[in-house]
Amino acid sequence: MNVLTETKVITTTIELQQLTTKLKNDQKTIGFVPTMGYLHEGHRALLKEAREDNDVVVLSIFVNPLQFGPNEDLDSYPRDFEHDKQVAVEENVDYIFYPSAEEMYPKTLSVTVNVQKRTDVLCGKSRPGHFDGVATVLTKLFHLVQANRVYFGQKDAQQVAVVDGLINDFHFPLELVSVPTVREEDGLAKSSRNVRLSDPERMEAGILYRSLAEAREEMIKGKTDINQLRNRLVADIERESSGKVDYLEVLTYPDLEQPKNLSGRIIVALAVQFSQARLIDNIIFDL
């Protein structure tokens, strides 16, 4: 794999498509990491894996307005391009695609993507239209980057499931690589939202992953009363922390449906609201 001397920033779709067409003609493999920026250690894990697997790594940084709902403040989404560029340099990224909203959406779209499945549960249940925006921008990016592999973190498991459906349904010649969640020592999933936790909340937050791990162990042992297990774990979380459980669900994966019987691939996913931060996490396993 290459050893880089610099990371190049590209801001236009035409330049990106010309570049990736040349790379494909030169038989180079392309690893793609799409992000909205404000990069943290979870993103570094994606970039490291992409670097190991491919000749060329493309990182996109684009805060996509299509995936923000009417009550979600697009303007307040955290941005720090200089920090992100430094992370990219440290992780040997070849190219950063950093377009403006006007570059990605120069006029009102005549065609958008509507996601039919895997969105009416978990976080998607309270964010109608969010994954339509995700799927629409990814469709554009997949065509522009022409990657061999695309990398997402398993922490956003519902997004991974939606992307899996997008790639399969639209026959993108693209491998989806789901990278395991990066965790703190107490199991808390690393996230830019964690800085919003107070010190006491941060001490309590390890209960989230402990609850997921307990759910996995109970089901592996054969516990089949899912409602009883869910209710007990919700009670444990709310007793041992100041967080309020938004949801704790047991579903098939990646279809994200209620399991008819506990077999095959299962996800246990939760969201917990603290005073200034809503944290999500999940665990995926086979029964």
Residues marked as binding for beta-alanine?
67
**Which residue blocks in the chain are alpha helix, DSSP H?**
13-25, 41-53, 81-90, 101-104, 130-145, 157-169, 199-204, 207-220, 226-240
| Bind-site residues for ATP | 36-43, 153-156, 182, 190-193
End-to-end CA distance of the chain: 38
> What torsion do the CA atoms of 151, 153, 158, 159 make, to the nearest 10 degrees?
-40
What is d(CA 80, CA 98) in angstroms, rounded to the nearest whole number?
Answer: 12
The DSSP secondary-structure symbol of 249 reads E
Sheet holding 175-179, edge to edge: 8-10, 95-97, 56-61, 30-35, 149-153, 175-179
Please state the residue numbers annotated as binding site.
Answer: 36-43, 67, 153-156, 159, 182, 190-193
- From 43, 130, 143, 171, the catalytic residue: 43
Is 43 in the active site?
yes
Annotated binding site for (R)-pantoate: 67, 159
Q: Side chain identity at 221, as an amino acid letter?
A: K
Name, in order, each residue with C-beta under 8 angstroms of 278's C-beta and a sequence gap of 6 or more: 193, 246, 271, 272
* Enzyme catalytic residues: 43
